Amino acid sequence: MKDLSIFVDESGDPGTESKYYLIALVFHDQSDGFERYEADYLQALRTKGLRDIPLHLSPLLNGNDRYRGMDVEERKRYLAAFRVFLQYLPFTYAVFAYKKSELDVDLLAPRGAIQRIRRDLAIYLLDHLEYLQQFDEVKIYYDNGQSLVTETLHDAVEFALSKEAIIYRDASPQRYRLSQVADYICTLELEAIKYANSETGGTDQLFFGMRKRFEKDFLKKLQKHRL
């Protein structure tokens, strides 16, 4: 049996004040183990005097949730350790980014957004059908945090692949490292949009620097993993 995991995360929420909406799909061939990369990451955390906190990049940047009370330098060490961990990890990814003003979004029934995103996901999966069909099972990991994502994901994947090849599992960053990878990707790709449109703020530049440094040290290293 050859299994593929797809971990899903989103940034923004159709129907709220966020300007952009992103969905990230992280692909991992389960025959490519990453125990040694995990071990190296945990050792890097210990060397830096850090606990193994499940990465949640937006709260890390803003000092919220489990990062509350940490100073900037400590949060930068967490970011640096995770960035190095991702460099060598065997995964690929795709991201779908939307400016919400260009989506037909109704606050109570975002049907236009669902249809647009479902179409884009289905087209992408069909374009990569040869890759996907080499696997006996495709396992989708998503925490079902937003009904729009759940609906579009089910519809698009089941349209492109046989239903028998799909297993849906709830996934939280506390349980799965690759859920943390999906979270990192969503936030970093959102940062790329903000840098491109001169929309970054002080916090962004505090952690990532100016645009050239962000692209060199963060974005290019991440995008080498694009499927």
Sign (positive/negative) of CA torsion 199, 204, 206, 207?
negative
Task: Please tell me the predicted confidence (pLDDT) of residue 107.
Answer: 42
Task: Please tell me the predicted confidence (pLDDT) of residue 144.
Answer: 67
CA distances to 71, 161, 166 from 21, rounded to whole Å, are: 29, 25, 25
Task: Please tell me the predicted confidence (pLDDT) of residue 14.
Answer: 52
Task: Please tell me the predicted confidence (pLDDT) of residue 16.
Answer: 55
Mean pLDDT by 10 residues, the chain (227 residues): 89 69 93 90 95 95 95 97 94 93 57 78 91 88 74 81 76 84 96 95 95 96 94
Instruction: Please state whether the predicted TM-score (pTM) of the whole model is above 0.85.
Output: yes
Phi first, then psi: what are they for 106, rounded to 5°? Answer: -105, 130
**Alpha-carbon span 217 to 14, nearest angstrom:** 30
Question: Taking the chain, what is the end-to-end CA distance rounded to the nearest angstrom?
Answer: 22
Catalogue all structural domains in the chain, each as residue range(s) with its CATH number: 3-37+88-223 (3.30.420)
